[in-house]
Structure 1
Amino acid sequence: MKKLNTLKSIKLLAILFVSTLVMTSCSDDHDHDHDHEGELITTVSYTLTNGNDVVTLTFQDTDGDGPNLPTTTISGPLTANTTYTGLVQLLNETTSPAENITNEVQQEGDEHEFFYVSTVSGLTITKTDTDGNGNPLGIATSLSTGTAGSGSITVILKHEPTKPNNGTVAGAGGSTDVEVTFNVTVQ
């Protein structure tokens, strides 16, 4: 009789354990509105405008993880001692029409932040837009050049960074959704 009670206890514990696992795996995460994996980003365009002076930095990998290598194009040099209004756009061009991922990043601004890292002497980039909580987002920027020179601008989109943060990629944490580097010239 004691052996039968022990078996019943073991079965009951097993049922409770499995029930706990099922309940845990089905629970909702109310802190985030989505539970999807990262969207495919095939194109990053960073357009810099000062009146008629428009410079577009574009990274494209239209076949995603396919066999073709990505391409990077820069429409021209930046002008020295000039301030540009910047706007970044993300696309998934494996669909027709292309899906504008920037809209999703903006809607989920509290879960995203762009970072800009430059090796060009005297070039500064400031984020000019914010998420719904007033923290920097970085879809819109102000880019100021100094004297003539060359170097790179790296555009990084972080998913679920710490907000607020110290403004650096390392201080933000989170995971990287996209990171592209453009070699630029200031004339």
Structure 2
Amino acid sequence: MKFLSMTLLATIVLSSCSNDDDNVPTVVNEEEVITTITATFTPVNGGAPIILRSYDADGDGPIAPVITVSGPFATGQAYHGAITLLNELETPAGNITEEVHEEGVDHQFFFQSAPSIGTFAYTDADANGRPIGLAFDYTASATAVSSNLTITLRHQPNKAAAGVANGDITNAAGETDIQILFSTVVQ
């Protein structure tokens, strides 16, 4: 009986001791809530910018986003592009653009259209010299075309995979933070 009492007491004492590793806080990098994406295409030779915007009033909720395109792209025209991301569920609105830039090694935008509306070239880079896509150059197709442009933000893509640094999403892997389809026209 005495042996059982000592065993029980030892078990209680040992189980109440905690491992120091249990007290180390775990850093959780929560996924960004993005309600608004704005892609601004400013003509290199001057003129009014073309603005592509998606606003989703409830984030990932059941309400469909409102997607707008301010006008057509001009054939053969060169544009400087910039993307802004907001979380408008917060007051004031949270600027997710800064977070994506700071965590650039874990993010990359992709621009896809079929038929092609032109060419995109990244003009920003992360700490490893690989593209992010918050800033880019775009040259519109030399011929008139109507097409859907899909802008995708990937979280933790494999930026070293074949073609990814040039904007090919095929081998990127990772998780999609946001993906918006814009109906665009080049004329």
TM-score, normalisation: structure 2? 0.82
State the AA in 2 paired with 1:136. Answer: P
Q: Which residue matches 2:125?
A: 130
Aligned length: 180
Q: Which residue matches 2:160?
A: 164
Correspondence 1:1-187 to 2 at 5 A: 15=15, 23=21, 35-50=28-43, 51-121=46-116, 123-146=118-141, 147-166=143-162, 167=164, 168-187=168-187
In 2, the alpha carbon distance for the partners of 1:122 and 1:153 equals: 8
Distance 1:67 1:122, change over 3 A: closer
In 2, the alpha carbon distance for the partners of 1:73 and 1:97 equals: 23
Runs of 5+ consecutive residues of structure 1 not aligned to the other structure: none
Runs of 5+ consecutive residues of structure 2 not aligned to the other structure: none
In 1, the alpha carbon distance for the partners of 2:133 and 2:74 equals: 22
SS of the residue corresponding to residue 158 of structure 2 reads coil
Q: Sequence identity, in percent?
A: 39
Distance 1:122 1:55, change over 3 A: closer
In 2, the alpha carbon distance for the partners of 1:19 and 1:169 equals: 46
Following TM superposition, by how much is the alpha carbon of 1:158 offset from its aligned partner in structure 2, in angstroms?
1.0
User: RMSD in angstroms over aligned alpha carbons?
Assistant: 2.9
In 1, the alpha carbon distance for the partners of 2:133 and 2:62 equals: 31
SS of the residue corresponding to residue 104 of structure 1 reads helix
